[in-house]
Amino acid sequence: MTASSSSRFPSPASWERTGGRGNTRHLQVNGLRIKYTGPGNSDADAACLKADHPVPADVGVYYFEVTVIDQGRQGFIGVGFCAPEVKWDRLPGWETHSYGYHGDDGNAFGGCGKGKVYGPTFGTGDVIGVILNRAEKTLSYTKNGIELGIAFENVAEERLFPAVGLRTPGEEVVANFGATPFRGNRDAILAEASQRIQARIEAVPLPRSGKAASVLGELIFNHLTHHGHWETAAAVAHDMLGNTMEVSPTRVQEIKERRRVYDLVVHGQMKDAMALTEVTAPGTLQSHPKVAFRLQCQNFVELVREGQDEAAMAFGRAVLAHAAKTADDNELLQDSLSLLAYDDPQTSPCGHLLGTAHRAELASALNSAMLAQMGGQEESALERLYRHAVVLQQELTRGGDPAAALIDMKAVLSMADLSG
């Protein structure tokens, strides 16, 4: 999930300073700990505190917890959310635009003094978690880490503040806004919410015929040919496009050559890969100096892998030292040279340079450079659409769309690796 979906407040989180307004004079506040010290004779003696910041606009699911240190005389403790205009002298849930789960009877109160049966009672030692799902407009609770289900639906207020209310002497609670580990499994709660959003997206039917299906087939066909999978592309052309597109013999040969270059890089044969690149797409390395330098560095790395340290040092002095032109080049050069300092370069901080994943990424970069040199696009149309979708999601999240904050684009599009 996205980082913006995490439960957080501007740090440090605290209760709003009330200046003793109304019944808040009955509350003794010490950091995130609150104790009721008033008379507690009737509901008129209740007091409520809100957090000093509302739930951030870019958070899809917000979670916080309240631990009951002491249930006091009667345990009239309410935990939930309040809009900024809600009175200080009422427990959460008793006023419009407020929601609360109360410890003395286990009822859930949503904007009125009459509650509905919801969950178990709670008291001394219990930890109550509160889950505000802004994407699905629900409010739920946990007790000691166990989810109790949805308490309120259609929770649509734009600005809601975590809130706690106390009413009888001795009641004492402490809040946790994420500074310490939660009792409930916040990550699992977040993942489940994200999965529900994804399921809704996947449930949208796609046309099985007509123009839309043709466009989808063309995107897949283009992506496969872009990355050298011409046989699979031919099958897509037959099965999805009714042979309206084809991989010509000339294109098959070009794809095969690019695939050979790709495989040479993945298998660590940099010199052969560079030589074949110049045959297949002349001028590629000259017009893409960053990729060319990366290939030269990887040639050095492969010499280190083979234990040819002297040959690697000679190559570094003769070629690499003069080829680095940019700050990125110099950083990669230093990382590559650092491998010589270790008896086992694989376990060094830059050991990833020896890995298959690194070579595959370099092979994809070279493939894109070759395509550009041959007059094509460096990315397939499908990859460009994917990147556009990622940017769109980011913009929606920044704009405060709570559902966007829960979408995992890679999971939705089933494209954990578009480089194929």
Name the 3-class secondary structure at 302: helix
Residue 53 DSSP one-character state? S
d(CA 208, CA 212): 8
Q: What is the pLDDT of residue 388?
A: 67
Name the 3-class secondary structure at 55: coil
Is 241 a residue whose pLDDT tops 90? Answer: no
Task: Please choose, from the candidates 266, 338, 348, 260, the residue with its C-alpha nearest in 3D space to the C-alpha of residue 300.
Answer: 338
Q: What is the pLDDT of residue 378?
A: 63
**Paired strand residues for 150:** 140
Mean pLDDT of 40-48: 94
> What pLDDT digit, counting tens, does each position of 269-321 carry?
999 999 999 999 999 999 999 999 999 999 999 999 999 999 999 998 999 98
Q: What is the largest CA-CA distance in the chain?
A: 91
Q: What is the pLDDT of residue 216?
A: 73
The amino acid sitting at 319 is V
Predicted confidence band at 140 (pLDDT cuts at 50, 70, 90)?
very high
> What pLDDT digit, counting tens, does each position of 373-394 carry?
988 776 677 767 776 676 676 6
**Taking all residues of the chain, what is their mean pLDDT, rounded to a whole number?**
86
Q: Which residue has the higher pLDDT, 388 or 96?
A: 96
* Backbone φ, ψ for residue 208 (5° rounding): -95, -5
d(CA 145, CA 178): 15
Six-digit token string for 274? 């560079």
d(CA 343, CA 400): 51
Contact 108, 151 (CB under 8 A): yes
Is 402 a residue whose pLDDT tops 60? Answer: yes
d(CA 362, CA 373): 17
| pTM (predicted TM-score) | 0.60
Q: What is the pLDDT of residue 394?
A: 67
d(CA 6, CA 51): 17
Q: What is the pLDDT of residue 166?
A: 97
Q: Which residue has the higher pLDDT, 175 or 372?
A: 175
Is 197 a residue whose pLDDT tops 60? Answer: yes
Q: What is the pLDDT of residue 58?
A: 78
Mean pLDDT of 196-216: 66
Task: Please choose, from the candidates 149, 127, 157, the residue with its C-alpha nearest in 3D space to the C-alpha of residue 64.
Answer: 127
Q: Which residue has the higher pLDDT, 1 or 23?
A: 23
Mean pLDDT of 327-334: 91
Q: Which residue has the higher pLDDT, 392 or 11?
A: 392
